[in-house]
Chains A and B, each alone.
Chain A
Amino acid sequence: MLTIKQLNKTYSNGVKALDNLNITVEHGMFGLLGPNGAGKSSLMRTLATLQSPDSGEIIFDGENILTNPQAMRNHLGYLPQEFGVYPNVSAFDLLNHFSILKGLTSKPERLEQVNALLQQTNLYQHRKKSVSSFSGGMRQRFGIAQALLGAPKIVIVDEPTAGLDPQERNRFHNLLADISEKTIVILSTHIVEDVSNLCPEMAIMAAGKIIKQGAPDLLLEQLSGCIWRKQISKEEVEQFQLTHNVISQRLVAGRAVIHILSDNCPEVGFEPIKADLEDLYFSAINTAVA
């Protein structure tokens, strides 16, 4: 179980990346949703013991990992948002090396797991090629593979599906779902769909603060009956934005479709729709910004 208490971090350029964060994760997948710059990566890096906060506590399985980072590292699988690799080292060798770094001392066990992971991420037939020559998607899969080495009790993935095509994304989701049965998986992303597909628990983060946290169903229930939809012309959009709480607007077949947050029907022509995670997300962000 992971408990984050009153975590704060302000960077030297004045940006407050973590603002009194409190989160608890018991097990399974936890989705962290938020726009770019919300502080998600800062939180991920802090959890991965690569950064220290200004104040606060992080307890994992009873250990305070800020004073004892080794307690986290021993059970951690981490996939950063951006990463590089050593040049001229093959995928197999590099993955093997990482498994050594993670403490897999028995060679046969190590080999078995490395091969399995290479297959799972569909890199097996490229295992002898140098990782620095991989395409973006392949590299991402490699990152996923190394995050799963060993027996991680907590897996932190930061924007994991960036650069993956739809097929790869699906397979990745399946993989994560498999492991989340026994481990905590913290999935940080700005792709709402990923969270809605996978996460039984989620939080929405913006400007360093958690603005919504809980099970998606329960959160959505709060919005039931409050999301309204209408198709309007492009010129009317601005006017609606002034008079109503427009939480999203998009183009459908050339015409503007807006979603509004309101307790009752705002006007003629609006139809109520069942709130989905995207609506939840936009409404939460808008409220936070407001």
Chain B
Amino acid sequence: MMLSLLKFEWQFHSRQWVFYIALFACVSFGSILMFSQSVDSELLISGPYNLARIICILAFLMLPFLVSAFAGNAIVRDRNAKITELIFSTKVSKWHYLFSRWLGLILISSLLFITAGLGMLIGLTLLDSVQLSIFETMAAILWPIVVLALPGIVLLATILFAVGLFSKKNITIYIAGIMFFSAYQLLLVKTGSALMANPATGSATLQFIFSLLDPFGSSAFFEQVKLWGPVEKNSQFIQLSGILLANRLLVLVLALVIFIFCYLKFSFKTEPKLKKNKLNINDLGSSKLLKALDPYNSVVPKIGLFSNWLAFLSQGKIEYIATIKTRSFLAILLFWLVILIGEIISGFVPGGSLVPTPFAGTMEALWRFQYDMLPRFMSFFIVFFAAEIAWREQDYNADSFIHASPVGNISLFFAKWIALLFIPLTLITVTIFVSASLQLIYGGMIEWPVYLSLYYYCGLPMVCVATLCLFIHNISYNKVIGMTISLLVVIFAISPAGDYIGLEHPMFSFSSHPLLQYSDLIGFSSTSDAFAGFMRFWLSISLVMLLLGYGLYRRGSMVSLINRVSFIRSQWGHVGIGFFLMATTLSSYLGYQVYYQTNEVAHYQSNDDAINWRVGYEHKYLQHQHLLSPTVSSIKTQMDIYPAQRRFKMKAQYVLHNPHQESLEEILVSTNVKVDYTEVKIEGASLKSYDRKYGQYLFQLNKPMSSGANLNMSFSVAQQQNGYLGLVADNLIVPGFSYVRAIRYMPFFGFNKHNQLRSPSLRKQFALAELPVGKSLEQAISEQQGGFSIDYDWTNFETVISTSADEVAISHGELVAQWQENGRNFYHYKTNGKIRNALAYLSGRYLVTNRVVDGVNLEVYYHKNHQQNVEHTLDAMSATMEYANQNFSRYSAKDLRLLEAPRVLGLTGYALPQVMLISEHGGFRDDLTNNSNPHLNTNSNQRSSFDQVYRRTAHEVAHQWWGHGLNGADQEGGSILVETLAKYTELVLLEQKYGREYVRKLLKHEHQRYFFGRARSSENELPLYRAAANHLIYSKGAIAMYALKEALGEESINKALRLLINKHSYPKPPATTLDLIAALKMFSPHAQETLVDLWFKNIEIDDLSIASASYQKLGDASYQVDVCLKIEQINESKLDVPKPTANKTPVWLGVLTSHPDELVTKDSDNEVIKLEQVNITNQEECLSWTVEEQPSHVAIDPFYNRLDQNRDNNVMVPVNALLN
């Protein structure tokens, strides 16, 4: 019996439309995902790790929708077909019934998911950059499907099965499916899963719980491979052991429990639905039959505009009640609330171990939901509810009444449209209410105009989506087809799916618009112009669809689409036809506007076009790659910024210099084609050719430019901006803030390497020669015997920059003069020496505060509402300036300016010569009231803040020495000299202000970031002196420098750095990391020299732990502490670096009166009793100390001087030896 029931299930499922659609979707999706993999890392696309990772992605993206689609058919189909009485009265047993349906659902979902795996295989074979062995790959795909996906399918299917069984409605299943999908995504983000593009560090406890309960095992999987390098990832399969095994078992057990619950609770008895107000059967009122009744009087109806209007209102009310006042909608609302609240709170209180006090600004709230979550959530629910609303009459079989009545189609259609619009309206209103309430609770300032603008920014696109869905349903044959098409269209519009089939242009994604993000400084204005343009266009198309939907309104049954098309003219009448023509004309016009702004003004290029352009450039100009080029030694510009019009124009005069031995006869000038260059001239040269397509000017010098000679060059350039391609990070001109970074738009000389394709696979595809492999540092040094001076790019700089009357303009150098002319502000800046040619022009509506320190004018430019931390910022700038002046070298300029930048630029901080940008959310808005004096504050909670303002400011100021002072050669390890040294400066400044216990928090954070980055890296780790990856140059570098400071002493480090700067600042030859190492060694005691090598040339990860600890009170109020330690070292470096002589590994050991984490947070009584560096000879060693206070904790390496992969075993509470 069971077998034949199962066979029936298979037949039933496989004969539905949905099955074929799902089959197609699975295979396509599986293969498309393979194409989106980046080919150029050391991680093999066809390696077991990568395939398992893709299976995880496929699982959580597809399975909720897949299983929901079939769950209805598995268990609700009887009720839908009204066949329950027939089935339930047969002799099928509860066991047979439930089990066959449940198993059928699991089998069909599993089968379809396996076809996705098949799609992956197909995708792989089509990728010709990959070599495959078919059987191995099949195994590598099948194994994760069996281990990761199948148990997840069982659990998911069981959950949806239970939902369907007890709710008896399809819509509840779909809602549960969406909730599962959203909740899973949210958990992935909160636990910092590697599946997410930009993982944050997640909460550890949440991570643990999730690893155990994750239906698809992705969390446990990533935990298992955390320490695998690319080699393991390319060959090893995941093991069914440890947490992964526990998780798989738990998932299956949970599914079993739910199924048993279903079995016990379910019964075949179907009671008729008796509502609260059920009728009294006796009360048929037959006795009233013959009494006098009100006579039936006919009432002549008045059909017309007014009756249609009333009908519209009445029908709208019914649609509204039937949609909103339902349990399903309430459930959705609740679910959204839960997600929203969690998101907003985490926006107020960013995670990680550096937690500032909650800052409950409107901007912080908006960034958690406004541009991604809310629109997506609303879109999905509109798709689902559109189906319910459009087919409501048919579903309830009430269509005959309605359609036979004289009500016009216009009332019925628009009633549905309005009802559908209630969904986004309600969701936005609820969101605003919740967000504002949370702000109130957390003590923030509510900005109502911004919230109200959400109806415009988030609501309008939804109007378009709703109209589209309703239109699709009107022309679809049935509900399922309509819903499928709407879902596909919406997914197409909101995802990059279109890119894969060549429909990349934004005008193909219905209702889409460039990313809108909010900034306190500039609001939405970076892209609001484009938003308005796109919305005008989409709304006009929606109008067309409204008219078509109304004209083709499906009334009655079996009125085929073709039939209705022929009636459309009579439906519309003259008015309607007029509207239709107007709407189509309008949308063509608006569409052209969008096209013009996107393609002409913003210079849109499809991906393929961009690639072809680069290939074309290289084919044509590679011949000039060895052409010697002049450098720029002096720049003078007149820059006019027009914020309100979003444009700039500039006139520039360059002085070109020939640094080569040879003389130059030709000069190739490369310009950016996306801005408008005019009048490019070089004195004493004639223009040999101008290539408009590639922006190349080839000049022939009348007389060759001899070695050391100078030549004048002049040009004009202008740009008109708009937001149609989104925000370009270093080129933004809007009222309130403008930032134009020169490097993007200024001329480049010689063959422009930036125009080349970088990806090796693409280069091969276009038959371009392989790019020269980056030389290792040692190779480069031996080749360039004269040092790297030839790569210099330093210049004198002078500018007259103008902006609108309500803004101030900033650039590099001293402010020589400022004046007003023609209602605009003018500023004349001039540097008193050469600066690195990394120039920018800025303007904004700022207030300014300044302070003179060490003869340097320190300025902070800030938004008028953001003044609370300005003084503190100046304190940080002053302290850093004084420290660096004293310990590194004298700051040579007269000014140092710090500007507040809008968050939408996507940077936290950025240092230009003499000018720094710090984002509004990177410090200007932090609440520091609880941080003023960590050692005096007795309230434990308040001490958990961290002073991000001070930290970031110190870091950026430090870059004036490390980056704009010290010259690093453009070779391997060059970034170390910039970022690592800035991190060092940041650490010492923080320690100077707050003490070592405070700095420990930052070190803990960097330590975590290092391991995090290491786990996610697809490359083998390079030793620090050659490193470039962020988790190395920032995090590992920070730990390294601090450890060296502890070992060698701050003064020695500073002496080394001072030497480095003196020897290698411009115009002296630039430094490499080998120079840094040499300098550090010069000032370290002999015994510690190898430590420098160890940190910079070695890759070593330890596992230090305390095996046991005990204490006993000695007679004279002192204590003896006995500790046994264990040391494990993993050495990965390929270089043969000698281990420290005498095999002694120095390690810090501490005895404290509290857990190290509590040093700063609890009472100021917490302290370190003893901290000593001990030399350990063996892997295990025990030692004894005597201390004056009762110890509560013993810790090994408490101050993060080592890279220790497991910190849980570093701290122990010593037991009282006398009690044992």
Contact = CB atoms under 8 A, between A and B. Distances in A.
Interface of A: 45, 48-52, 67, 70, 73-74, 76, 78, 80, 82-89, 96-98, 100-106, 109-110, 112-113, 115-117, 119-120, 122, 125-126, 128-130, 132-135, 138, 143, 146, 148, 150-152, 167, 171, 175, 178-179
A100 B273 contact: no
Contact of A102 (B279, B288, B301, B306): B301
Nearest to A94: B318
Given A122-B289, A129-B279, A110 B314 contact: no
Given A97-B314, A133-B274, 13 more contacts: A48-B400, A49-B555, A80-B404, A88-B321, A103-B302, A103-B303, A105-B302, A105-B310, A106-B299, A112-B299, A122-B289, A129-B275, A151-B300
B635 interface: no
B297 A50 contact: no
A106 B301 CA distance: 9
A8 to B, nearest CB: 15
Interface stretch (B556-564, B613-621, B804-812): B556-564
B405 A73 contact: yes
A179 B296 contact: yes
Residue in A85, A133, A134 with the greatest tally of chain B CB atoms within 10 Å: A133
Contacts of B273: 132-133
Interface of B: 273-275, 277-279, 281, 283-286, 288-289, 293-304, 306-307, 310-311, 314-315, 318, 321-322, 325, 392, 396-398, 400-407, 411, 555-559, 563, 570
A115 B398 CA distance: 22
A73 B404 contact: yes
Given A86-B322, A87-B322, A133 B277 contact: yes
Contact of A112 (B297, B321, B405, B563): B297
B299 A104 contact: yes
Pairs A-B, 8 closest by C-beta atoms: A84-B397, A103-B301, A50-B556, A151-B298, A103-B307, A80-B400, A73-B406, A101-B407
B487 to A, nearest CB: 26
A126 B315 CA distance: 22
12 contacts: A50-B400, A84-B397, A84-B398, A88-B325, A98-B401, A113-B298, A120-B296, A130-B275, A151-B298, A151-B299, A167-B286, A179-B296
Nearest to B560: A52
Nearest to A122: B285
Given A83-B401, A120-B296, A146-B401, A97 B315 contact: yes
Contacts of B392: 86
Contacts of A80: 400-401, 404
Contacts of B304: 103
B301 A126 contact: no
A98 B289 contact: no
Residue in A76, A83, A117, A171 with the greatest tally of chain B CB atoms within 10 Å: A83
B402 A85 contact: no
A273 B277 CA distance: 53
A151 B289 CA distance: 24
A101 B405 contact: yes
Contact of A49 (B294, B306, B318, B556): B556
A241 B556 CA distance: 45
A33 B293 CA distance: 31
Contact of B396 (A52, A84, A128, A151): A84
Given A167-B289, A171-B289, A48 B307 contact: no
A99 to B, nearest CB: 8
Given A48-B404, A73-B405, A150-B298, A82 B275 contact: no
Given A133-B277, A179-B296, A50 B557 contact: yes
B557 A51 contact: yes
A138 B286 CA distance: 13
B318 A150 contact: no
A11 to B, nearest CB: 8
Chain B contact residues: helix, strand, loop or mixed:
loop
Contacts of A50: 400, 403-404, 555-557
Nearest to A90: B277
Nearest to B400: A80
Contacts of B298: 113, 150-152
Nearest to A116: B294
A70 B406 contact: yes
Contacts of B558: 51-52
A115 B638 CA distance: 84
Contact of B299 (A78, A100, A110, A167): A110
A132 B275 CA distance: 9
B296 A102 contact: no
A82 B306 CA distance: 31
Contacts of A109: 299
A179 B557 CA distance: 29
Nearest to A151: B298
A260 B294 CA distance: 48
A85 to B, nearest CB: 5
Nearest to A113: B299
Contact of B306 (A73, A101, A105, A148): A105
B405 A133 contact: no
Residue in A88, A96, A146 with the greatest tally of chain B CB atoms within 10 Å: A88
A105 B299 CA distance: 10
A133 B289 contact: no
A185 to B, nearest CB: 13
Contacts of B303: 70, 74, 103
A101 B279 contact: no
Contact of B288 (A122, A129, A132, A151): A122
A85 B311 CA distance: 17
Given A50-B556, A86-B398, A122-B289, A113 B297 contact: yes
Contacts of B281: 135
Given A120-B296, A133-B275, A104 B401 contact: no
Nearest to B298: A151
Contacts of A105: 301-302, 306-307, 310
A78 B283 CA distance: 28
Contacts of A179: 296
Contacts of A119: 293-294
Contacts of B556: 45, 49-51
Contacts of B406: 70, 73-74, 76, 101-103
Nearest to A70: B406
Residue in A73, A76, A100 with the greatest tally of chain B CB atoms within 10 Å: A100
B290 to A, nearest CB: 10
A40 B172 CA distance: 39
Nearest to B288: A122
Given A52-B559, A83-B398, A120 B315 contact: no
Given A52-B563, A122-B289, A85 B296 contact: no
A102 B273 CA distance: 30
Nearest to B290: A171
A131 B41 CA distance: 66
A58 to B, nearest CB: 14
B673 to A, nearest CB: 59
B831 to A, nearest CB: 76
A122 B570 CA distance: 41
B206 to A, nearest CB: 41
A208 to B, nearest CB: 16
A117 to B, nearest CB: 7
B279 A135 contact: yes
Contacts of A167: 286, 289
A85 B400 contact: no
Contact of A101 (B295, B315, B325, B563): B315
Given A74-B301, A126-B279, A151-B299, A86 B318 contact: yes
A87 B396 contact: yes
Given A52-B563, A83-B397, A103-B301, A138 B279 contact: yes
A109 B310 CA distance: 15
Contacts of A97: 314-315, 318
A135 B284 CA distance: 11
A264 B186 CA distance: 89
Given A82-B397, A86-B398, A105-B307, A151 B301 contact: yes
